[in-house]
């Protein structure tokens, strides 16, 4: 695995080096001895631009190192050349980094680009729509937030933690609209999923103290 990650990290330089060595071999010995060097070098160079280094981001995300993930993303100079599903993931990750830095306008712009390209799985699309909804809530645009989160729930979410988060956001939106019956319904749905993420569990506990006292 480490060798593969190193290959991804340096495949552009390695590909260029192989093509140069192929050129020297071509000059000294002819085309056919140089052909394997040209071929492998070209595959490595095209792989760099077509697939990018997104695989390298995984270990940074797992350790919560967003700065490391951002450094890898910044090595992609021509995102328009990436294979479409990978380009979508690239823009989504750029949006996540911007969101962590509280650049909500930048995050929304990047995530919209990712969604416009289409997601390889409906659950991934749902997760992105949920993030867009949360971004809209940060910007106090509750109407847009509700639209995004409802779309996320229709598309489907990858796990019960995301689903519970979506129901809790809808609960907050309904409370803001003073639609208390709907707010309670969304709260019950979130609680029934028995989420384990500390932040979501704490949010349920805080809401439970308040929601039992409201009418509806």
- Domain boundaries, given as residue ranges, for the chain: 1-51, 54-117, 121-216
Structure confidence at residue 58 as a pLDDT band (50, 70, 90): confident
Please report the pLDDT score of residue 151 as a whole number.
Answer: 94
What DSSP assignment string belongs to the chain? -HHHHHHHHHHHHHHHHHHHHHHHHHHHH-HHHHHHHHHHHHHHHHHHHHHTTGGGHHHHHHTT-HHHHHHHHHT-S-GGGS-HHHHHHHHHHHHHHHHHTT-HHHHHHHHHHHHHH--SSHHHHHHHHHHHHHHHHHTT-HHHHHHHHHHHHHH--SSHHHHHHHHHHHHHHHHHTT-HHHHHHHHHHHHHT----HHHHHHHHHHHHHHTTS--
* Residue of higher predicted confidence among 206 and 59: 206
Give the rounded distance of the alpha carbon of 19 from its chain centre. 34
Residue-wise pLDDT tens digits, 151-198: 999 999 989 999 999 999 999 999 999 899 999 999 999 999 999 989
Looking at the predicted structure, is the pLDDT value of residue 125 above 90?
A: no
What Cα–Cα distance (Å) separates residue 195 from each residue in 127, 144, 166, 167, 215? 16, 26, 12, 11, 26
Structure confidence at residue 121 as a pLDDT band (50, 70, 90): low
Please report the pLDDT score of residue 69 as a whole number.
Answer: 86
Looking at the predicted structure, is the pLDDT value of residue 64 above 80?
A: no
Looking at the predicted structure, is the pLDDT value of residue 215 above 80?
A: no
Give the rounded distance of the alpha carbon of 115 from its chain centre. 10
CATH class of the structural domain 121-216: mainly alpha
- Among the listed residues 130, 117, 212, 137, the one whose alpha carbon sits nearest the alpha carbon of residue 164: 130
Residue-wise pLDDT tens digits, 11-44: 999 999 999 999 999 999 999 999 999 999 999 9
What Cα–Cα distance (Å) separates residue 206 from each residue in 57, 87, 215? 35, 39, 17
Please report the pLDDT score of residue 120 as a whole number.
Answer: 66
Residue-wise pLDDT tens digits, 88-115: 989 988 988 888 888 888 888 998 999 8
In this prediction, what percent of the chain has a pLDDT beyond 90? 57
Average pLDDT over the chain reads 89
């Amino acid at each position: 695995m480490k060798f593969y990650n190193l290959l991804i990290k340096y495949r552009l330089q390695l590909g260029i080096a192989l093509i140069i060595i192929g050129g020297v071999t071509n000059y000294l010995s002819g085309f056919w001895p140089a052909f394997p060097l040209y071929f492998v070098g070209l595959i490595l160079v095209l792989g760099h631009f077509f697939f990018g280094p997104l695989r390298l981001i995984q270990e940074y995300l797992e350790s919560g190192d967003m700065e490391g993930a951002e450094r890898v993303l910044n090595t992609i100079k021509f995102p328009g050349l990436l294979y479409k599903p990978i380009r979508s993931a690239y823009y989504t990750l750029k949006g996540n980094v911007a969101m962590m830095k509280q650049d909500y306008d930048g995050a929304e712009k990047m995530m919209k680009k990712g969604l416009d390209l289409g997601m390889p799985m409906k659950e991934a699309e749902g997760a992105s729509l949920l993030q867009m909804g949360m971004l809209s809530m940060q910007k106090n645009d509750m109407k847009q937030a509700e639209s995004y989160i409802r779309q996320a729930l229709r598309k489907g979410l990858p796990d019960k933690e995301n689903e519970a988060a979506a129901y809790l956001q809808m609960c907050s939106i309904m409370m803001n609209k003073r639609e208390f019956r709907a707010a309670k319904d969304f709260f019950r749905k979130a609680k029934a999923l028995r989420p384990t993420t500390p932040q979501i569990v704490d949010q349920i506990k805080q809401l439970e103290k308040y929601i039992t006292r409201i009418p509806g």
